[in-house]
Amino acid sequence: MSHLTIRGGSRLRGEAGIQGAKNSVLPILAATLLTADQVELRGCPRLRDVDASIHILRDLGCKASWEGENVLLVDTRGLSGCAVSEHLMREMRSSAIFLGAILARCGQAELSYPGGCELGPRPIDLHLSGLRDLGAEIDDAGGVLHCKAPRLKGREIVLSLPSVGATENLMLAACGAGGITTIVGAAREPEIVDLQRFLTACGARVSGAGTSTVSVEGGRRLHGCTYTIMPDRIAAATYLCAAASAGGEIFLRGAREEHLSTVTAVLREAGCSIRSDEKGIACACRDRLTAVCPVRTAPYPGFPTDAQAILMAALLKSRGATVFEENLFANRYRHVDELSRMGANIRVFGRVAVVTGVDALHSAPVRCTDLRGGAALCVAALAAEGETSVREIGHIDRGYQDLAGDLRRLGADILRTEN
């Protein structure tokens, strides 16, 4: 299997661009099914999860092809099926987002439960209850979702918690429902705003994204468009934490601080100097970091769970102790054992992890446990003495187009070896 070899001790210095957002492009790819037309997506990152979405689209009879480095053309006029095979659904958790779009386009859908990183239970109950509210009949016996909805009808749907996936799925389904759908208690992530902008560019009437109430006027015929995916805020957070871990001075072209202000606030508290403008974010870390106030993950605009492991890795050599509280996923500390192999001092008590800074980290063979945990190992390896081998990096490829290349452009001593 492919692996990364990282020699720590080099301070980072340089500039890198930020890829298109993984968590934005996946629901947008599902949304292309609503257009029955051709869509050109610019700034589309080449990721394993994007490849999985393309396979689903092609399996449904659609066309998808790359034009240049990061331009993806999707033509959904040839849609010929409404069922997604089990092996395609198991490739990623967010494959569930196709349910609402297929149902809106075809009036029926058949999908198995999705796969993805093993971060603990992530049920799609809110997705299904919301679709039932819109008029869908869903039979989930035997692990397969058999859905019928010859006619969806808009109404008010109240989410018991701000689920990103459920909000997106219901937005897509609502585009095919008669009347107005109001989603109360909606998630507020920037990626949902990006989905609204894409749908609007296709002719939909959607408003409220970024707030807790999203309104969709359904029943409109949508058309294709050319659209540019927003920059990936978690990729930006990863490279900021890399600079915090290794020290140095970097500039992230295209990064938007307003999308990750909770992360930059913590890094400033730890001792980093961060400046931002319309061109990107500059980060300088010249001294040893200090521990920060407790970091508690929460739905946006709170601290993102996707950045928890990455920030933890950046603080492994800080002065003092930092408390992390993971409130969204039960198994999001799977990276801790691997970091401990490198000399980290981390104690876990249920949903709480206490990181006590150490004077030095050492190299070790480690393996990626999940997407963000894998990125965290790379961030830690930049500050470790010696040469660290990071294995099972297929997880990293799910969310980073070229993690090794980006870090190398920022001055890291990192090599990817294909086995």
Active site residues: 117
56 burial type by CB count under 10 A (0-12 exposed, 13-18 middle, 19+ buried): buried
For the record, the structure tokens of 279 come out as 């061109």
Length of the chain as a residue count = 419
Structure-block tokens of residue 315:
């603080």
Residue 400 corresponds to which amino acid?
Y
Contact at 8 Å (CB) between 295 and 322?
yes
Kindly state the helix (H) or strand (E) to which residue 280 belongs, with its residue range. Answer: strand 280-285
Tokens of 382: 């930049």
CA 230 to mean position of chain CA atoms: 12
SS3 readout for 348-388:
EECCEEEEECCCCEECCEEECCCHHHHHHHHHHHCCEECEE
Q: Angle at CA 320, nearest 5°, toward 344 and 238?
A: 55
Distance CA 366, CA 378 (A): 10
Name the CA radius of gyration of the chain, rounded. 21
Eight-state DSSP code of residue 156:
E
Q: Which residues pair with 138 in a beta bridge?
A: 147
User: What are the Cα distances from residue 19, in Å, to 23, 74, 180, 232, 385?
Assistant: 12, 19, 35, 6, 29
Q: How far apart are CA 408 and CA 405, in angstroms?
A: 5
Tally of CA atoms within 13 A in the half-sphere of 197 that contains its CB = 14
Interatomic CA distance for residues 218 and 101, integer angstroms:
12
Round to the nearest angstrom and report the end-to-end CA distance of the chain. 5
Residues 6+ away with beta carbon under 8 Å from 51: none
Largest CA distance in the chain: 64
